[in-house]
A and B are shown apart, each in its own frame.
Chain A
Amino acid sequence: MERSEAELIAAVLQGDAASFEPLVQKYSPRVFATARRYARRESEVEDIAQEVWLKAFQKLSSFRGEAPFEHWLMRMTVRTCYDFLRGHQRNRESPFTDLSDSESDWLEKFASAPESTSENADAAKLLVERILEKLSPQARLVITLQEIEDRSVKEIAQLTGWSVPLVKVRAFRARAEMRKILSKMAKDRYL
């Protein structure tokens, strides 16, 4: 008979480490999907996921069971991704002159006819990835959670551990930062 999550967690806390494996199996897809929003290289994604699970095991005693295990785990995942972003800010200073042909074409099309430019194009997805890499870690986290994943301010506060007013301030600054980067890109390309 399949054991419930609560039973598995209780067993792990009583010293049966093997009971942790079904939890890893069940929730790893969500952890990996979240990590892939913030890290591009597969080795980095695996490092993040590994760190999340080792932390989850070590801090399992702090899980009170009031909220679902998945929420607790996702908080840990988002915070680990944020730590990763803070430690890997390598592409923030690179210029916009090294855009690929498809990205340049997409921008040209957008400049001439914004309404008819498709957001489903691969070039647009690559371009947005490139722009997100240039944002500060805080800005990238807020833009991803609020605008891409469509989460509320309250949810973001719970996931990040920031207060609600702090999330609002950081979201405002993040939008301004993104506009500034886009203006710079437009200036670099067309001036």
Chain B
Amino acid sequence: MNVIELREKLIAAARTSAPDDRVPYAFEKRIMALIGAGVPTDGVALWVRGLWQAAVSCAAIALLCGTWAFFNPASNSSDDLSQNLETTLLASVDQGDQAQ
């Protein structure tokens, strides 16, 4: 098969078929609605929008947690917590001392 000739034939075939220029119904209305909504198009803008939304969500969760902690203080005092932590961390040392 002559590849060069085949290529020319296929390019000629592509030239004979002009693409359809039909536009979907009310396409311009959809575009205007998106413009009105301020939809970002490029990747950076999408990232910025996503990060902003994530930041707002995180701030809201932090605020909720803070409020909950403020109005519902823990029954144990912070001294107890620090004492527990110290006991846990030094448990292995204490066990070593007892073994000797």
Contact = CB atoms under 8 A, between A and B. Distances in A.
A143 B10 CA distance: 12
B74 interface: no
B69 interface: no
Interface stretch (B17-25, B53-61, B75-83): B17-25
A114 interface: yes
B41 interface: yes
Contact of A57 (B17, B21, B35): B35
B31 A50 contact: yes
Dominant secondary structure of chain A at its interface with chain B: helix
Given A21-B32, A128-B11, A36 B1 contact: no
A154 interface: no
Contacts, number: 110
Interface residues of A, number: 48
B19 A37 contact: yes
Interface of A: 17-18, 20-21, 24-25, 28-30, 32-34, 36-37, 46, 49-51, 53-55, 57-58, 110-111, 114, 117, 119-121, 124-125, 127-129, 131-132, 143, 147-148, 150, 175, 178-179, 182-183, 186, 190
Given A34-B19, A132-B14, 9 more contacts: A20-B35, A28-B27, A33-B21, A36-B20, A46-B24, A57-B31, A110-B1, A127-B13, A182-B3
